[in-house]
Amino acid sequence: MSFHRVLIVTLIISLVMPSVLSAQAARNAKEALANESQIAVDKLQIVRDREEIKEFEALLEAMDQLEAVYAGEDFRKINMKLRVAMQREFEQAKGKFAQTRREARQSRREARGEWQEARMTGNARDRVQARDDRRDLRDDRRDREAAKIRTERMRVILSETKALQSELDRGSGVALAINRALLGEFLRLLQEDLEATESELKEDRRERREDRRERRTDQNK
């Protein structure tokens, strides 16, 4: 390459790199803010989920005590409370899944920006970040699919328990057993959803630690 070409390339890099670095700093700040917000949301979600699981477990325990003698009206009241709780949890799961899909689209857009930047700068850390982004997207797809399956199963259980109502009103032992099994499965889905949120919180905190280390490294350069 001639001296003039080297000079031109050097000039272009000197003009482009500051804007790239500035854009990177802006993205880092935006991602850090989004991460802090997500951590706060996850913590509140976990508190709420734990409380709602305890409520569901208490209702199930009360139902089990009444079911032994099938205490008619009292049983129906508790069963209705459980169904209301299930409907609430299903609606929350739908909302959370929709939010997850929106966040996934945003993550893909951000990842594409990271990949393009890694190609432009050739920076080793940018390449590592791009690989991490790909890994995170794969994890997001896996978690999103699991959430979709849980949400759909909640919908089916809710529908099946409603369909049992006439048999429950007659005190059918078979219907009581099926209803109890479905309620137990619904509780397990709630527990799985809580575990997923706890895992997300752990991952968000890990990302926050990494972001802080990177910012300290940049400041020390």
Full-model pTM:
0.71
Predicted local confidence at residue 74, as pLDDT: 86
CA distance 67 to 60: 10
Q: Which of 175, 182, 167 is nearest to 82 (CA)?
A: 182
Taking only the tens place, the pLDDT of each residue in 41-95 is 889 999 999 999 999 999 999 998 886 555 578 888 999 999 999 999 999 999 8
Domain boundaries, the chain: 57-220
Predicted local confidence at residue 66, as pLDDT: 80
**pLDDT confidence bin for 149, thresholds 50/70/90:** very high
Predicted local confidence at residue 72, as pLDDT: 76
CA distance 191 to 49: 8
Residues contacting 144, CB < 8 A, separation 6+: 97, 100, 101, 104
Instruction: State the average pLDDT for the chain.
Output: 78
**pLDDT confidence bin for 169, thresholds 50/70/90:** confident
* Least reliable range by pLDDT among 66-70, 88-92, 125-129, 148-152: 125-129
Q: Roughly how many angstroms between the first and final C-alpha of the chain, as a whole number? A: 31
- The residue written with tokens 């759909």 in the block is 152
Instruction: Assign 32 to helix, strand or coil.
Output: helix
Q: Which of 157-195 are b and which e, b meaning 16 or more Cβ less than 10 Å from the residue's Cβ?
A: bbeebeebeeebeeeeeebbebbeebbeebbebbeebbe
Q: What is the mean pLDDT of residues 108-125?
A: 61
Residue type present at position 39: I
